[in-house]
Structure 1
């Protein structure tokens, strides 16, 4: 486990972008696992800058997103497919066929979860998985539970997650309550993992993740078992760590 402490969100974003760009430089056809939400936005902006400066090339890169709201079509402004397109993909030279995101409108959600697992298995291990973390220490949409969910699965979101995501919607009642998410095994099979966190509201989750016991009640705590995980934290997110 490696912990990188940065002074603020901007520095965190630049450091994360450098880690992703370095992975692509080492292996131009890298498989990236990608996250959404407020935390990685700065990282995507920094990666777009690097692309425009011809410092990184996404032509051969393959991506898998962690999750998608269930019940939202890809052209919905609140869907994660729309998020990725508007905040990242349309500004770089990634091939559309190399982009993989769960289908939030799948008629049979069980079959969609199996399809996504098969895609992951077909492509092989993710080279670098980018993660954010929820206030309740969820990664992807793996919520606190009494067991770790292994593969891509259908999940009912916790009230805390719904509350946190309400800022992206016009009305709280518009926030989807269900999602499709990669499971813990999917995430842990990545060769490298980088987790980003900023802000005081993430400090308790970070402390429990890094210094607490490993428990499905703190989903991100399982990362303690990964052989190559890096935490990139701003000062506030890291403020409750002992060291």
Structure 2
């Protein structure tokens, strides 16, 4: 696991965008994993700007989203498919139907989840997965206690996660759905490169557990310690609990410029 701590959140977004730009340059038909939430927004803004300057194209790329609320109607402003389209997909040049997400309105949810897993496999797997992390250490909607071997499935959201997401629902936790479909930890771990972004002091404890704590289902993101190519991008506030912050800064500053993340 590589930990990168930078003072400016825009610099973090640039580092993540550099990795995606380089991936698409060498593999134009790469498969991306897209996350919603506040953490990746600056990355999507940076990629959109680069696309506008002709520096990167998504025309041959495909993408899969991490999760979806169960029961929100099509077109709902907080349905994750609506959000990812608004925040990123429609701002660049993805081909029609190149981006797919779990179907939170499926009549047969288990069958739909199995089909989603198969679609990822048929695409050749995810080359680069963007992630955020919740205050309780969840990635996607894999709440504490999730199996490290889990695959796409329905999950019940904890009250803390619903409280965290209430800001997207006019601050009303009762409007936040109680269930979601989510890629499992096993699904996420199958991605060839995982890039996790976290900013703000509210993420500091989860980041501390992720990077320096024991691997435990109590903090689901800790499974990423076993990933062969995981990059964690942090601002100083999110890195505030890290014991080895100085070491992480030193090693990143000393990397060869050609190496990337």
**TM-score in terms of structure 2 length:** 0.91
Please state whether the residue corresponding to 1:142 is helix, strand or coil. Answer: coil
**Residue 142 of structure 1 contacts residue 149 of structure 1 at CA under 8 Å; is this kept in 2?**
no
**1:74·1:104 contact (CA, 8 Å) conserved in 2?**
no
The alpha-carbon deviation at position 153 of structure 1 amounts to: 0.6
Give the structure 2 partner of residue 104 of structure 1.
Answer: 104
Matches within 5 A, 1:41-60: 41-60=41-60
Q: Distance in 1 between matches of 2:21 and 2:135?
A: 28
What SS is found at the alignment partner of 1:94?
coil
Residue 172 of structure 1 deviates from its aligned partner by: 1.9
Correspondence 1:26 to 2:26: yes
Are residues 1:211 and 2:241 paired?
no
Provide the rounded CA distance (Å) in 2 between the counterparts of 1:24 and 1:184: 25
User: Cα 1:38–1:11, aligned 2, differ >3 Å: closer, same or farther?
Assistant: same
Q: Does 1:141 align with 2:141?
A: yes
**Shift of the alpha carbon at 1:146?**
6.0
Q: Which runs of 5+ in 1 are unaligned?
A: none
How far apart are residue 147 of structure 1 and its match?
3.2
Deviation, structure 1 residue 149: 4.9
Partner of 2:168: 168
- What 5-or-longer segments of structure 2 have no aligned partner? 245-261
1:188 matched residue in structure 2: 189
User: Residues 77-127 of structure 1: CA distance to partner in whole angstroms, max 9, x if unpaired?
Assistant: 011111111111111110122111111111111111111111111112210
Q: What TM-score do you get using the length of structure 1 for normalisation?
A: 0.97
Query: Take 1:163 and 1:15, find their aligned partners in 2: how far apart are those partners?
Result: 30
Q: For 2:232 and 2:133, how far apart are their aligned partners in 1? A: 11
Deviation at 1:12, TM superposition (A): 1.7
1:114 partner SS: helix
1:89 has 2:79 as partner? no
CA shift digits 1:130-158 (9 cap, x unpaired): 11000001001000016335110100001
**SS class of match (1:68):** strand
Aligned residues: 243
Aligned partners of 2:15, 2:30: CA distance in 1, in Å? Answer: 18
CA distance in 1, matches of 2:20, 2:163: 30
In the alignment, the residues of structure 2 paired with residue 147 and residue 97 of structure 1 have an alpha-carbon distance, to the nearest angstrom, of 31
